[in-house]
Chains A and B, each alone.
Chain A
Amino acid sequence: MSRVAVLKGGPSLEREVSLRSGTNVELALGRLGHEVIPMDADQHLVRMLRDERPDVAFIALHGRGGEDGTVQEILEILRIPYTGSGVLASERAMDKVVSKALFRDAGLPAPEGYAFSKEAFSRMGAADALPDIQQSLGLPLCVKPARQGSALGISIVREPGDLAAAILNAMGYDDRVLVERFVPGRELAVTVVMADDPWALPVIEAVPLGHDFYDFEARYTPGECELRSPGDLDDEVVQEAARVSIAAARTLECRGICRVDLMLDAAGRLWILEVNTIPGMTDTSLLPKAAEVAGIGFDRVVADMLDLAALDT
């Protein structure tokens, strides 16, 4: 039995989501017989960690600060093993621009896209290149802040005149935005366990009810989205989803358990959207659903995460 600090909350825009994930983790750790030390990741975090000296830190933070390598670096300095990916892998996964480039370099299927920083527009007249993007990628386009979770700031551009507004909106959430080809299709998620021999939990499909895509409301409102185990998928597609997801997590050098979000287009092709190094663990999240479908239960996944806790060096 270990003394486990559960890091949750923090100042990110996904604070509330993180508090809900953290609560579920704490309950599971309690059921597993561990001693739980809940910690809101605020300005006293380092002091709290020094005072409590936990055996392990369970990171249930989402978004900036918690998922981008920042808190991981702190835990490296304090020599406290932590769940999930290490410093660099977290940074790579958090930044959709970086991870997309790495996926494509590795020959993995990720929708084509272009990234722009605020400076590109304010100092280099990048706006003049927007028509070229529409020309090259076509419509609709998906515009995303480079580093932001929970689909915050994401919009789908269907009309040529709406691209600038979508970029401005996304810039509210990060100084860099990604404009990529929108892949219409089915939203799939694969939870992968990066053990010595990585394996994948069953594919889960998110079917947003009355939403344009799997947006924030659909993600966290009970009844706004159906999470299901898609029984109609060809075995080939299921295998391919697992293979591609493990390859994506490997490419970023992820550790622990992460969730890979995919799109399945009408032609049956899979596209990697992103890797989440700290998957949501709220009541409406994909990971608990995958654990249930796998027949292993949420607690087992939490136990695995804890077992895989480590330090980079």
Chain B
Amino acid sequence: MSTSDVTDNTGTGTPVPPQTPLVGPADAARYDSRFSAQASCTTSSAMRDLMAITEKADIISLAGGLPDTETFPRAAYEEIVAEIGTDYLASSLQYGPTDGMGELRERIVGIMADEGARTRVDDIMITTGGQQAIDLSIRTFVDRGDPVLAEGPTYPGAVPCLTAYGADVTHVPMDDDGMRVDLLEEAYARLVQDGRPPKILYTIPNFQNPAGVTMSLERRQQLVAFAHSVGLLIIEDNPYGMIRFEGDALPTLYELDDGAGWVVYLSTFSKILAPGIRVGWVAAPPPVLRKMNLGKQAADLCSSTFTQRFVTEYLKRNDYRVHVARVNDVYLRRRDTMLAALDAHFPASATWTRPRGGLFLWATLPDFIDTTALQARALERQVAFVPGAAAFLDGRGGNAMRLNYSGVPEPVITEGIGRLGEVIAEFCALHEALNPGRG
């Protein structure tokens, strides 16, 4: 789903495979009967293939979720890598504990404290990026057909996980204050009435991906109180909490749970440091963590000891909040640029969220526009976004789109939104022509 703007420095030679494999296309059928149900559930969607085009260099991609790599402190990087080479060579090249390096887990307790979430080292497990934390939490709780609650739209990157493990997802609508907890309660009651109480609720309370809205304090309190009253397990995904441009930080659900054990907390260094290091974490009650640990052993034994050391050393010598502040400065300007461009170029019939942090906003177009078809047309104009259908498991989201502002310089944002506005205008004009006399 995400794109890469890293310079391609693969060799210039002709990439001919050294040995010619003996398996031809007609042999594909031999595997068909062997593929697991899990593998077969992750489909090759038209949308994902369209997204592959967005990786081409001449496309303005508002589709990715890329932090800006220009903001990363080069000097710090060089210094740390050199230091690892001299002081930590053996340990950073050896297997490590499945839970992760103790030193880093201690640091993470500090970072969570900065976010107002008290926890203990023993409650932390390092994961290979936030994505593994999502995968492990779904795999730990969800059997095929199990009911799961999630916001609608939900994180497009969680959709393949939920699909692969066969989750039966009920989406809960949001408004400007985040998840509608009243509607969550209704959805929960219906599932219980059907004899199918949901296994988990997956939520991103801060600067939700893709909606760009944040759950209000009142809603958070309501949600945790409800979870406590009925025994609902919450998976709180918080990759963007620190990427706040406006307003005061709100307490995490993990903190509001106050050690009651109804919240599993996921986060990552991808947005506050860099995504390529693939270091994330889980904070969870010990019985949950033990199961997740078994899952992680099966998945990859341990996360990279090299990058764990890198993060630890980085945190030792730098106040990561200085880097985060610098990043937020850049993103704020980009968000403002995108909002201004949307005002100027999108039709009055479109609406969009105004995120107070994070990387994305969510635009909703008139319901006659299918954003997958719009994407096809937009790609002709060399601009890409994520069609809204990618963020739903029930076929909704057809007239919505996720727009990323963090990974693209300001003039490019303006140009990209301008082109999108033209394509949308074309669709609107055509719709009118196709439906004369319907206003």
A30 B20 Cβ-Cβ under 8 A: yes
Asked if A289 is at the interface of the complex by the 8 Å CB criterion, the answer is: yes
What B residues does A76 contact at CB under 8 A?
A: none
B430 A299 Cβ-Cβ under 8 A: no
Asked if B246 is at the interface of the complex by the 8 Å CB criterion, the answer is: no
Interface string of A112-125 (1 = CB under 8 A from B): 00000010011001
Task: Indicate whether A217 sits within 8 Å of B43 (C-beta atoms), given known contacts A169-B373, A223-B35.
Answer: yes
What B residues does A37 contact at CB under 8 A?
A: 14
Residue of B31, B43, B379, B434 touching A168 (CB-CB under 8 A): B434
Task: Indicate whether A16 sits within 8 Å of B434 (C-beta atoms), given known contacts A153-B376, A168-B427, A298-B25.
Answer: no
| CB nearest to A302 among chain B residues | B24
What A residues does B20 contact at CB under 8 A?
A: 27, 30-31
Chain B residues within 8 Å of chain A by Cβ, number: 43
Q: In the bound complex, how far is the Cα of B372 from the Cα of A17, in angstroms?
A: 17
Asked if B32 is at the interface of the complex by the 8 Å CB criterion, the answer is: yes
Determine how close the nearest CB of chain B comes to the CB of A266; give it in whole angstroms. Answer: 28
| CB nearest to B55 among chain A residues | A15
Residue of A167, A168, A171, A284 touching B28 (CB-CB under 8 A): A284
A220 B44 Cβ-Cβ under 8 A: yes
B40 A222 Cβ-Cβ under 8 A: yes
Determine how close the nearest CB of chain B comes to the CB of A45; give it in whole angstroms. Answer: 14
Determine how close the nearest CB of chain B comes to the CB of A65; give it in whole angstroms. Answer: 11
Task: Indicate whether A13 sits within 8 Å of B26 (C-beta atoms), given known contacts A168-B434, A217-B46, A222-B40.
Answer: no
Asked if B429 is at the interface of the complex by the 8 Å CB criterion, the answer is: yes
A38 B15 Cβ-Cβ under 8 A: yes
B35 A168 Cβ-Cβ under 8 A: no
Determine how close the nearest CB of chain A comes to the CB of B80; give it in whole angstroms. Answer: 37
Chain A residues within 8 Å of chain B by Cβ, number: 57
A172 B374 Cβ-Cβ under 8 A: yes
Q: In the bound complex, how far is the Cα of B21 from the Cα of A298, in angstroms?
A: 14
B373 A122 Cβ-Cβ under 8 A: no
B25 A281 Cβ-Cβ under 8 A: yes
| CB nearest to B57 among chain A residues | A42
Asked if B190 is at the interface of the complex by the 8 Å CB criterion, the answer is: no
Give residues 143-187 of A contacting B (CB, 8 Å): 150, 152-153, 164-165, 167-173
Asked if A36 is at the interface of the complex by the 8 Å CB criterion, the answer is: yes
Interface string of B4-47 (1 = CB under 8 A from A): 00000000001111001100111011011001000010011110
A172 B32 Cβ-Cβ under 8 A: no
Residue of A14, A169, A173, A217 touching B44 (CB-CB under 8 A): A217
Asked if B52 is at the interface of the complex by the 8 Å CB criterion, the answer is: yes
| CB nearest to A220 among chain B residues | B44
Task: Indicate whether A172 sits within 8 Å of B370 (C-beta atoms), given known contacts A31-B20, A121-B433, A127-B433.
Answer: yes
Asked if A70 is at the interface of the complex by the 8 Å CB criterion, the answer is: no
Task: Indicate whether A285 sits within 8 Å of B25 (C-beta atoms), given known contacts A153-B376, A223-B40.
Answer: yes
Q: In the bound complex, how far is the Cα of B379 from the Cα of A85, in angstroms?
A: 27
What B residues does A14 contact at CB under 8 A?
A: 49
Q: Which 3 A-B pairs have the closest CB atoms?
A: A172-B373, A283-B28, A292-B26
Q: Which residues of B contact A (CB under 8 A)?
A: 14-17, 20-21, 24-26, 28-29, 31-32, 35, 40, 43-46, 49-50, 52-53, 56, 58, 368-370, 372-377, 379, 427, 429-431, 433-436
A-B contact pairs, 12 of them (CB 8 A): A11-B56, A15-B49, A43-B58, A122-B433, A168-B427, A170-B373, A172-B372, A172-B374, A216-B46, A223-B32, A283-B28, A299-B24
